[in-house]
A and B are shown apart, each in its own frame.
Chain A
Amino acid sequence: EPEVTQTPSHQVTQMGQEVILRCVPISNHLYFYWYRQILGQKVEFLVSFYNNEISEKSEIFDDQFSVERPDGSNFTLKIRSTKLEDSAMYFCASIPGQAANYGYTFGSGTRLTVV
């Protein structure tokens, strides 16, 4: 079964450093998403991406965050200057089209720890 792949599985970074989280969505999917889950809490929407641009973003997704699809296969989330409160699991997801009945395929996540 096709998978969404995320790397690294765990990243530790110092506060103020930049991090890039990487995702390889399923190859024929067109819509891509990032979600985050602070430990033990709710899964929160960050951003959706379609046709090489952001289609929607949440209040969490401020100027410190950016997304990119640099080469047609990878989908990256960059945090420019990490804060302690950015520590969370970050999940990438993709769906083939913009239909509400698709169940998203999520990657296994990247655990980001900011120290």
Chain B
Amino acid sequence: GDSVTQMEGPVTLSEEAFLTINCTYTATGYPSLFWYVQYPGEGLQLLLKATKADDKGSNKGFEATYRKETTSFHLEKGSVQVSDSAVYFCALSSYSSASKIIFGSGTRLSIRP
């Protein structure tokens, strides 16, 4: 079945560092790919999405490019802030999974001032 694998956390960086959180997926067909963010004590917020190969999703300085050839959707940000500390979930949705969202295990990111 469809699945998402993302890098284990926690990830700890200093403010203004470059961030990459790796995500790869397995799916039949052509899934849509998402990154969700969960700030401490809050719910799940859609951060960005890409719905076809080579699309780049972006929001709040974060970017991720849908790479079909490597089945990846890595999250990047050029300069992180303390306020970016959260748990980040990579996810996919496809018709073969009946459009339900399948989440990766989440990566906890902590940013030091």
Contact = CB atoms under 8 A, between A and B. Distances in A.
B53 interface: no
Interface string B70-113: 00000000000000000001000111011111111110000000
Contact of B43 (A41, A55, A109): A109
Nearest to A89: B43
A7 to B, nearest CB: 13
Nearest to A33: B100
B106 A91 contact: no
Interface residues of B, number: 25
B106 A43 contact: yes
Nearest to A42: B105
Contacts of B34: 103
B35 to A, nearest CB: 10
Nearest to A44: B103
B105 A108 contact: no
Contacts of A41: 105
A23 B102 CA distance: 21
A100 B93 contact: yes
Nearest to B94: A100
A35 B38 CA distance: 14
Nearest to B89: A43
Contacts of B89: 43
Contact of A56 (B42, B43, B100): B100
Nearest to A46: B100
Nearest to A103: B46
Given A100-B51, A100-B99, A104-B101, 4 more contacts: A56-B98, A91-B43, A98-B99, A99-B99
Interface of B: 31-32, 34, 36, 42-46, 49, 51, 89, 93-95, 97-106
Ranked nearest first, the 5 interchain pairs of A and B with the lowest CB-CB distance are A108-B43, A101-B51, A103-B46, A106-B44, A101-B32
